[in-house]
Chains A and B, each alone.
Chain A
């Protein structure tokens, strides 16, 4: 069945770049998403990429998609303490499938 995998934890220093990686199995995915969950809050859509794109940039966020390897990454430039959160990768073929979430910890 469809599956989305992420590493569970990432720790970076403030000002560094963060790269969160994700792999998925469903080759029919039309959209791939990154959601952010801050402590005690619901999920908020950060950005998404259509499956026929390789890259999407939005201010400090860069999404890279390698469709051949079914690999998606989210790069956050100049990471701030306010970026500390859990980041979920998700794919949508017929329905939304989430990864386990990567907890990003930003140390001052």
Chain B
């Protein structure tokens, strides 16, 4: 089954404690991206990757890092989380940047206290 898998689904952490949210896709997609969803703001892109070892900032990259060492994986790293990073995070993938359909993961709800 074609899917995008994120882990964990829920995470509560403390300010400053490094964390990684994993994302994996099994569709051999080249393009992957991370979004955060906040009430009244919709989805905002954090980072995206056009292919292996190619990443770039989205609209709200501050406080986040990503890596793309393999095509299928695109982890989101918060080196020093802060409460304003409490949000619902989605990973998405598609064939390329202009592909019609993006496939989304189930989401990771992160709370930073």
Contacts and interface: CB of A to CB of B under 8 A. Distances in A.
B42 A43 contact: no
A92 B98 contact: yes
A24 interface: no
Contact of B42 (A30, A94, A95, A101): A101
A73 interface: no
Contact of A96 (B41, B45, B105): B45
B55 interface: no
A6 B105 CA distance: 23
B43 A94 contact: no
Interface in A5-24: 6, 8
A30 B98 contact: yes
Main secondary structure, interface of A, reads strand
Interface string B23-49: 000000000010100001111110010
Given A30-B98, A94-B97, A95-B97, A42 B90 contact: yes
A98 B104 CA distance: 13
Contact of A88 (B4, B40, B43): B43
Interface in A78-108: 88, 92, 94-96, 98-101
B79 interface: no
Interface string A28-49: 0011000100001111110010
B87 interface: no
A63 interface: no
Nearest to A45: B101
Nearest to A100: B42
B107 interface: yes
Interface of A: 4, 6, 8, 30-31, 35, 40-45, 48, 88, 92, 94-96, 98-101
Given A35-B104, A95-B45, A98-B43, 20 more contacts: A8-B40, A30-B98, A31-B100, A40-B106, A40-B107, A41-B107, A42-B4, A43-B43, A43-B90, A43-B92, A43-B104, A44-B104, A45-B102, A48-B100, A88-B43, A95-B48, A96-B45, A96-B102, A98-B44, A99-B42
